[in-house]
Structure 1
């Protein structure tokens, strides 16, 4: 059996006008292969999904199936790839991973994806936390995605760096230290900066994303109205973050660029906001930078202000696939509870199925890289009370292209907080309207 991984480069971000050009019903209908006929299924994911061993297992169970896997480096680039191919009307894999942050845009063209009710997903509706299943349901009641992970958040921290700063460095002590709101997180961060002269977090963008996701309503209201300009709660959180960054707490790293992972190893920053799927990012970058478990990263059962969700994904089958039934079968299998546990063990992606969550909570397994932290049971606790925020059609665009550049300028000291907010509003007007 062969398993290939082809990397697809993203093109320019497709805007709303491009989405409107997508032609419905343009897929060429083809006969599904018989059960024993050789079949090649293509799948595109992004980031760290932890599916490699599962692909091999599925091909062992189904000797007639060959999986051709393509993984794109980031969710943002995957969004570009997906919408560029949707606008072209061709090129999408048989299975496409969709990220929660751009699901609002996907729902505007949901007819380009198979209604999975035709392939039995309703029989599995009770497998997932209810809001996860609902997220993948379009306004017409069509269900277009099998839920993969969700993103309950904790705090990754570097124990030796905490100890050197005179702060508690054990997991329970750190959880107690940071148990409070964002004001507590930033107050401790300033203590750390004052004691060490080093940064507290990697860059403002990821912290901002976590802060926004925690609000009942973020960049959009729950009924789909834009919710940035004039949003006092959002502005108050921005001011909190800006003050901390101006105080030296940001390491001014690039989004998804930590000097080849070296910044996780050399003490550039001491904390990292960690939804479950980020655990794989931390470990992978630490190892890429020459570190290992002895570098000292750990995972604390705490998050500023309480429960929060960042991210999560879905597996969808485009209408352009000529192997819809086989693709749906693979996507369904990959998202069953047993496979979600395997995925979690490989990449830290926390399951969206209730059975898998219960298993991880009941049988905590120490994670050797994170100082033997029982990350599964910690995340199960962090998931309690989480409800994903409504994401509007330009949610990820606002996060990355409206707030991203001003926050980077803030990190570099080129703008103060008020200037960064004003620049974000200007970009909002330019890019979203």
Structure 2
């Protein structure tokens, strides 16, 4: 497998930095004395996006006198990836606990020796906590567990029931699921309904194309990489077919061409600019947060249906890691283990909509089916549990997130602006993949 120049450089520099740390005699050990009121320590944590940990940090501090948590939250996963690799290459600056996103876990695995083997701190004793594939994702080729799984990303569909009703479409979530085809929902039906909606209202169907594209790609058995780690873009008929679908949708005017992660300060979720939004569990917090930022609330009409065009899909999910540069490895591992316990994952879901990776927490949410007031009383936990059935995350290669963000996302922006069309856009995507990653 050919690694990108970026990945090769990070691996080399990070290895050198780690050697320098060892040679200088710096210790990453806390010592034998446990943290407590007479031995206070500060644990630093870096997350990104919306993790829903604020109340959990306070609870942990209350239950562990002498431990103070200093959190840093970075706005997006892409920026968090840049931050982590920059500090990893420098050999300094990483916090005691660092959240890693599924899309760039492959790059982390190439320098997995720069992260603590959590087996040294009891990972084997709690390995049955997670769904099997999530535990496997966080385990490197040498059997070292370097990440405790937080959430997974089963997908349903967010839709604005008020906009649907105004366009003569059903607003009841069960009827909406049936409208898209239920268990047999297809992207063909999704785009067909989008064109009908556009014809009736003159408005766009989805916010912007890159998220829809990512949803499509994640449904494939193999995406930008094959299961054995080979680059899988050029000559990939499945990708090229889906490229045709999304670029046709753009040509048909179904994209509102919104700015990702901004949506006009959230106003795009309020002013009727688009009616559907692809929603892995963690996006529920994004939808609510941006709707409220844009001046909306539950009355704006967003709902959540137990359906996903093209079938089951996992998009995203994160892990908590402990870099070897941490001077409080034991305590950092204990905090990471506690934050990923089933009870805490349920609390995280309630705060941020992130669907648990532990089987016990998944069962709890499915059984409780608590109505979510913002999403019109939708039992979002039960819906996501339904959407999670049969989901196994796609293998993500070392530069998966680079290809998604710096190749296809960037090219789709240019297609939406009219600079490129379907054919020239695909050619540009292949060129950029070769330039950034290689063949």
TM-score by length of 2: 0.94
Q: How does 1:204-223 map to 2 (within 5 A)?
A: 204-223=209-228
Contact in 2 for aligned 1:251/1:269 (Cα 8 Å): yes
Structure 2 counterpart of 1:311: 316
Aligned-pair CA distance for 1:21: 1.2
Q: Determine the C-alpha separation between the residues in 2 that align with 1:22 and 1:358.
A: 40
1:275 to 1:77, Cα distance in 2 relative to 1, 3 A: same
User: Within the alignment, does 1:411 sit opposite 2:413 as a pair?
Assistant: no
Q: Determine the C-alpha separation between the residues in 1 that align with 2:396 and 2:35.
A: 39
Root-mean-square deviation (Å)? 1.1
Contact in 2 for aligned 1:14/1:83 (Cα 8 Å): no
Q: Determine the C-alpha separation between the residues in 1 that align with 2:35 and 2:10.
A: 38
Where in structure 2 are there 5+ consecutive unaligned residues? none
Partner-residue secondary structure (3-state), 2:193? helix
Q: Determine the C-alpha separation between the residues in 1 that align with 2:86 and 2:289.
A: 29
Match of 1:335 among 330, 335, 340: 340
Aligned-pair CA distance for 1:41: 0.3
Number of matched residues?
421
| Higher mean C-alpha displacement, 206-215 vs 175-184 | 175-184
Q: Deviations over 1:343-368 (max 9, x none)?
A: 00000000000000001111110000
User: Within the alignment, does 1:19 sit opposite 2:38 as a pair?
Assistant: no
Q: Deviations over 1:311-368 (max 9, x none)?
A: 0000000000010000000000000000000000000000000000001111110000
Q: Determine the C-alpha separation between the residues in 2 that align with 1:220 and 1:115.
A: 26
User: Within the alignment, does 1:31 sit opposite 2:30 as a pair?
Assistant: yes
Structure 2 counterpart of 1:225: 230
Contact in 2 for aligned 1:98/1:315 (Cα 8 Å): yes
Structure 2 counterpart of 1:396: 401
Q: Deviations over 1:199-223 (max 9, x none)?
A: 1001110000000000000000000
Match of 2:330 among 312, 317, 325: 325
Aligned-pair CA distance for 1:416: 1.4
Contact in 2 for aligned 1:301/1:378 (Cα 8 Å): yes
Structure 2 counterpart of 1:76: 78
Q: Determine the C-alpha separation between the residues in 2 that align with 1:405 and 1:71.
A: 25
Contact in 1 for aligned 2:35/2:67 (Cα 8 Å): no
User: Within the alignment, does 1:283 sit opposite 2:283 as a pair?
Assistant: no
Structure 2 counterpart of 1:91: 93
Aligned-pair CA distance for 1:15: 4.5
Q: Deviations over 1:105-146 (max 9, x none)?
A: 000000000000000011111110000000011011111001
Q: Deviations over 1:7-43 (max 9, x none)?
A: xxxxxx9543233211235252143352321110000
Structure 1 counterpart of 2:265: 260
Q: Determine the C-alpha separation between the residues in 1 that align with 2:332 and 2:253.
A: 49
Structure 2 counterpart of 1:5: none
Partner-residue secondary structure (3-state), 1:70? strand
Q: Determine the C-alpha separation between the residues in 2 that align with 1:251 and 1:414.
A: 16
Q: Deviations over 1:35-73 (max 9, x none)?
A: 321110000000000000000000010121100000000
Partner-residue secondary structure (3-state), 1:97? strand
Runs of 4+ residues over 4 Å off in structure 1: none
Contact in 1 for aligned 2:314/2:392 (Cα 8 Å): yes
Q: Determine the C-alpha separation between the residues in 2 that align with 1:35 and 1:294.
A: 48
Q: How does 1:342-361 map to 2 (within 5 A)?
A: 342-361=347-366
Q: Determine the C-alpha separation between the residues in 2 that align with 1:312 and 1:401.
A: 20
Contact in 2 for aligned 1:14/1:80 (Cα 8 Å): no
Where in structure 1 are there 5+ consecutive unaligned residues? 1-12
Q: Determine the C-alpha separation between the residues in 2 that align with 1:221 and 1:379.
A: 27
Partner-residue secondary structure (3-state), 1:274? strand
Match of 2:112 among 107, 110, 113: 110
Q: Determine the C-alpha separation between the residues in 2 that align with 1:114 and 1:282.
A: 35
Structure 2 counterpart of 1:182: 187
Structure 1 counterpart of 2:428: 423
